[in-house]
Amino acid sequence: MKTQPLLALTLSVTLAILACSPAVVSTSTAPPPTAAADTPASPPPTPAAGTATTPPTAGAATDAPPDAPATVPPTAAPVTGGPETVDPADYTFQLVAEGFADPVLVTHAGDGSGRLFVVEKVGSIRILRPDGTVLPDPFYDMTGQVSQDSEQGLLGLAFSPRYAEDGAFFINYTDLNGDTHVDRCHVSGSDPNQGGDCATLLFVPQPAWNHNGGHLAFGPDGYLYIGLGDGGDSNDPDDRAQNLNDRLGKLLRLDVSGDEAAYSPAPGNPFSDQGGAAAEVWAYGLRNPWRWSFDRATGDLYIGDVGQNAFEELDYQPASSAGGENYGWPYLEALRVNTEAPRAAPDGFSSVPPLVNYAQEVGGCSIVGGYVYRGRSLPELNGVYFFGDYCTGNVWTLPAATPDPAVTQWPSTGFNISSFGEDEAGELYAVDLNGGVYRLVRAGG
Ligand SMILES: [Ca+2]
Ligand SMILES: [Ca+2]
């Protein structure tokens, strides 16, 4: 590994700082699950589900390259999100609805309806009404048309920022051959609870069943961002994430406001004038950016990038970014030099290190990026970024304003977090791959 930006280095820290924090709530003595080799972003449920782990006690230091930053010494800083000190024990994720088939996302249409849309990996989108009931007919159903290995299926959904006017929504799925599609669809003109009329905008062949990414979101700039993993297998054997001419292992940025049947690379994309580079690329060097979000207040971007066999990482990109960030995969797994990369990093290689990373042996096996809380019902949490881990159900927060990598552990959800989500009002949700959708509330409130 070579040089890294100094500013980013100062932000890098491991969750080891949690070990001495008084805010750590987990009291379980159950050992952390053994991280499976090449753990997927949304693997099938494991026996580890529901078992809280002991707080992280070891960080990246022992495996970090010689020029990695020193870890920040343990601190006893309280959680400070809003103006008041927050005690994580005062909150819980409360069940809203259950019985979904492998749900992997919850989101909203931004149309004032108050509806939540729950994406089922098997290929359907269900409507969860504000009263907690689930409509019997799916909003959209493509079951039987998507592949179903553990990381495959219907994986992403984003509504047009002008959905109330244009009725457009976008889905990301793997087809029966395992290849990635991003489709543009439309709501029915006569029934707001029925969507369809989909056509593929973007097609990306997948070399292996895993690392498909799958998330979609519109940025504050109005462009559609698409997260694509390195395509699989393990350790990015074809070095795709670093190849700017390959759309795998990237965050893409598209302009979908024009011709219904097409997209354009968004204006200002960092490599659009560079020969041998795909014009859709916004950022690169990602392994499997399963879930990520823009802070709706600031536009800052938080990316949960699932690790290989040792470390999970949270990447950060300020709203002022002009794109072009290299997040280091496969030469680095978080801060660890990945000796199983297809080749050594070239001379002069540099990358943006993670804002936060944690060892799988203490934190879980697949990071799930979440959201900065901007809701109204818990104003003391305004500006607190939430993320978690699929395998352990662990939840952590950090103050978004700085952003400050002083991570605090929250009570475990006790389930396999497949995603976090927001409703239109900015309230925070967590999704259990085993079927439930939960909302963050005050415990006992
Ligand atoms: Ca793949
Ligand atoms: Ca990285």
* pLDDT < 70 positions in the chain: 1-84, 445
- The DSSP bridge partners found for residue 195 are 187
Using the mean position of ligand 1's atoms as its centre, give its distance from the Cα of residue 206 in Å. 5
H helix or E strand, kind and range, residue 80: strand 79-80
Domain 6-442 carries which CATH code?
A: 2.120.10.30
Distance 190 CA to ligand 2 centre (A): 46
| Alpha-carbon distance values, 389 to 94, 287, 440 (Å) | 18, 16, 16
Q: What is the pLDDT of residue 20?
A: 29
The Å distance, Cα 308 to ligand 2 centre, comes to 11
Kindly give the distance from the C-alpha atom of residue 198 to the centroid of ligand 1, in angstroms, as a whole number.
Answer: 22
pLDDT at 23: 28
pLDDT of residue 134: 98
H or E segment and range at residue 281: strand 281-284
Question: In this predicted structure, what is the pLDDT of residue 10?
Answer: 27
What is residue 445's predicted lDDT score, i.e. its pLDDT? 67
Residue ranges covered by each domain of the chain:
6-442
> pTM of this prediction?
0.84
pLDDT of residue 405: 79
Distance 249 CA to ligand 2 centre (A): 11
Contact predicate 230/241, CB 8 Å: yes
Q: Which pLDDT score is estimated for 403? A: 75
Closest ligand to the CA of 353 = 2
